[in-house]
Amino acid sequence: MDRRQARTRQAIIDAFVNLLDKSSYEKISVKEIIDTANVGRSTFYSHFETKDDLACQICNNLFEHIFSHVIPPCSTHNFSEVEPSAETRITHILYHLRDKRKYYLGIIKHEDGALFLHFFRDFMMKRISIKATGVYQEMIQSMPEDFMVNSLASSFIGMIHWWLKDNMQTPPETVAKYYMTLINPAIAEFEAKE
């Protein structure tokens, strides 16, 4: 993708995010996004198939950043020098959700988190394997992978909803520790699939 295409794609994303700040997800139309971004309909569809695809791309950019092998430092947090673990990845996601809440909250709140849950679950199924620990290894290996991923993703969304009701006042490290207390000792790590 050349620079001009990248700028146009970002303009579409920014328009969508600005609209989410003023209106609910379900009320935003592709036409509104196009008008706000000042691009043509064909330009929008050359980048995104649907509004849901646009939301999915925004979420996947976050997930790919969190689960990448090399994590660049960010302005409010730095996980580039920390050994990746399930807890640091969850903490990292929470920092992004808090720091860029304008980007994600409209998607998280849509249908009480069902859309974000769908994107997160799909990403986990396609790109992440779950490493079990201790006595749970054999038990988890006998479970259907989609059952385990769905359970973890659903509890993750529940954690985010709790945190939103708390106005994100509890530090990301503390919230991640709460979540890890629930899923440990069964889960040792989330690893990128080969």
Residues 61 and 37 in one domain: no
Confidence of residue 171 (pLDDT cuts 50, 70, 90): very high
In 3D, which of 111, 117, 87 has the Cα closest to residue 27?
Answer: 111
Same domain, 43 and 63: no
The CATH number linked to 34 is: 1.10.10.60
Whether residue 168 sits in one domain with residue 109: yes
CB atoms within 10 A of CB 168: 17
Whether residues 70 and 139 share a domain: the answer is yes
The tally of domains found in the chain comes to 2
Is the confidence at residue 16, as pLDDT, over 90? yes
- Average pLDDT over the chain reads 88
77 phi and psi angles, rounded to 5 deg: -160, 160
H or E element in which residue 130 lies? strand 128-132
Q: Is the confidence at residue 194, as pLDDT, over 70?
A: no
27 and 100 housed in the same domain: no
In this model, does residue 191 exceed pLDDT 80?
Answer: no
**pLDDT (tens digit, 9 = 90+) per residue, 95-132?**
999 998 888 888 888 887 888 988 998 998 888 888 77
Residue 102 and residue 29 share a domain: no
Same domain, 130 and 43: no
Q: Print the domain residue range for 171.
A: 57-192
